[in-house]
Structure 1
């Protein structure tokens, strides 16, 4: 399994409704893409002050395997939502941190 973690530093003027809409678009891809197992989104709740480096919100997507993750990355709807994330992030792409983990099955 691949756990795809995306953390975002949203620009201060981005409203909660826009964030909810972006996260909903990511979750909606699950119904279209084989191997997309689950999505999770939310704000950082860690008590370790400052450790988030400003990446206070994000989402995680679990995929059956790397092929499913790669299909998601290439999907046109994902790419449209990804462009919205870049536009909403502080500093564009610099305001986004992506980290994928392989979870042994």
Structure 2
């Protein structure tokens, strides 16, 4: 299995409705993209305020294998979500690793 971690930093604060829309789209990926074992997404609520650094949403996806992770990037449902971020994102951190 492969783990996919993403942290999103936005250019400005999201409205509650925009945040809810993005989180709903992220959660929907679990049923839209083959090879996803588990998916969680949410707002960063860390109490370690020095560590937020503006990254306000997080995503964790567990894939069946490396191929499922590779197929996720170009999948139309994922690309539709990426299009929703147009003009909103300042930075994104992505970490992928095999689960051993």
Question: What is the TM-score of this pair, normalised by structure 2?
Answer: 0.83
- Compared with structure 1, are the counterparts of its residues 37 and 88 closer, same or farther at alpha carbon in structure 2 (3 Å cutoff)? same
Ranges in structure 2 where 5+ consecutive residues have no aligned partner: none
**Which has the larger share of helix?**
1
Q: What's the secondary structure of 1:58's corresponding residue? A: strand
Give 1:34 deviation, angstroms: 2.0
**Which has the larger share of strand?**
2
Give 1:53 deviation, angstroms: 2.0
RMSD: 1.8
The number of residue pairs the alignment matches comes to 100
Q: What's the secondary structure of 2:55's corresponding residue? A: coil
Question: What is the TM-score of this pair, normalised by structure 1?
Answer: 0.80
Ranges in structure 1 where 5+ consecutive residues have no aligned partner: none
